[in-house]
Amino acid sequence: MFSRVLIANRGEIVVRIARTLRALGIESIGVYGADDADAVHVRAVDRAVALGGSVLNETYLSPDALVAAATSSGAEAVHPGYGFLAESAEFAEACAEAGLVFIGPPADVIRRMGSKTQARRTMRAAGVPVVPGSTEAIRDTAHLHAVASAVGFPLVLKASNGGGGKGFRIVRDESELDRSWERASAEALRYFGDDAVYIERLVEDARHVEVQILADAHGTTVHLLDRDCSVQRRQQKLVEEAPAPTVDAELRERICRVAVDAATAVGYRSLGTVEGLLAGEDFYFLEMNTRIQVEHPVTEMITGRDLVADQIRVAAGEPLGFTQADIVARGHAIECRINAEDASRGFLPSPGTVMTFDVPEGEGVRVDSGVEPGSVVSPRYDSLIAKLIVWGEDREQATRRMLRALDELHIEGPSTLVPFHRRLLSSRQWAAAETCADLVTDPLWLKEVALPAKL
Amino acid (one-letter) located at 306: D
Q: Specify the DSSP element, H or E, that contains 239.
A: strand 236-242
Q: How far is 323 from 13, CA to CA, in rounded Å?
A: 27
Q: How far is 111 from 106, CA to CA, in rounded Å?
A: 9
Q: Is-contact 291 336, C-beta < 8 A?
A: no
Amino acid (one-letter) located at 28: S
Q: How far is 117 from 108, CA to CA, in rounded Å?
A: 15
Q: How far is 455 from 445, CA to CA, in rounded Å?
A: 18
CB atoms closer than 10 angstroms to residue 381: 18
The backbone torsions φ and ψ at residue 118, rounded to the nearest 5 degrees and listed phi first, read -65, -40
Within 8 A by CB and 6+ apart from 418, the residues are 338, 406, 409, 411
- Counting every residue, how long is the chain? 455
DSSP class of residue 133? B
Q: Write out the catalytic residue numbers.
A: 291
Q: What sign does the dihedral 343-349-350-353 (CA atoms) show?
A: positive
Q: Using DSSP, state whether 209 is helix, strand or coil.
A: strand
Residues facing 241 on adjacent strands: 228, 334
Q: How far is 246 from 127, CA to CA, in rounded Å?
A: 25
CB atoms closer than 10 angstroms to residue 151: 18
